[in-house]
Amino acid sequence: MAKVLECITPELKAFIEAQPVFFVASAPLSGEGHVNLSPKGLDCLRVLSPSRVAYLDLTGSGNETSAHLHENGRITFMFCAFTGAPRILRLYGTGEVVLPDTPAWGELAGLFPAYPGMRQIITAEISRVQTSCGFAVPLMEYTRQRDTLPRWAEAKGDDLPGYRREKNATSIDGLSAPLAASPSPSA
């Protein structure tokens, strides 16, 4: 059932690009800390190469992935088919946070739509690509993406940097999460 591949193949890249939602998991090194698992939607993930991916991370209620990557770099992505043939794909790797006030931001930001609330881009070097059956994943009908988060960020306007400093600077376990010194152009 499970199959390990050396890299993201063209077929898996097409599968990734067809998914309207994916999941990101990270955890602190401490066994006492919380494992974080976040769903991600919108048009915010790119396969950069057979061994590298990036996703645009928008401002939200927490910043766990960033704090965990800052501490230890471990990250896992999961994609699952809710339509068509059953399939689960996991990408295991080491991630980095790219902030709007860094040179790498200019190289990557243009790959994504300019959503309000753009906070950071997470890149990951993928060291393990694994598929599994997904036989128990339900079939579900996709209707549309929600626009609630971009509308919320747009409504925050000039208050968004303050919100980030208050709500996104540390994880629920007290780990620090890097924040940009200045907001992104679409913040």
Residue 35: inside a domain = yes
Q: What is the pLDDT of residue 187?
A: 59
CA-wise closest residue to 109 among 23, 186, 17: 186
Residue 171: inside a domain = no
Q: What is the pLDDT of residues 46-84, one digit of tens each?
A: 999 999 999 999 999 999 999 999 999 999 999 999 999
Q: How far out from the chain centre does Cα 153 lie?
A: 17
Residue 184: inside a domain = no
Residue 176: inside a domain = no
Domain containing 46: what range?
3-163
pTM above 0.85, yes or no: yes
Residue 183: inside a domain = no
Q: What is the pLDDT of residue 2?
A: 87
Sequential DSSP letters for 15-52: HHHH-S-EEEEE--SSTTSPPEEEEE-SS-EEEEETTE
Total number of domains constituting the chain? 1
Residue 187: inside a domain = no
Residue 122: inside a domain = yes
What does the chain come to in residues? 187
Q: What is the pLDDT of residue 21?
A: 97
- Is residue 25 within 8 Å of 36, Cβ to Cβ? yes
The list of the chain residues with pLDDT below 70 reads: 1, 182-187
Q: What is the pLDDT of residue 22?
A: 98
Question: For 184, phi and psi rounded to 5 degrees?
Answer: -70, 160
- Is residue 27 within 8 Å of 36, Cβ to Cβ? yes
Q: Identify the CATH number of the domain in which residue 83 sits.
A: 2.30.110.10
Residue 175: inside a domain = no
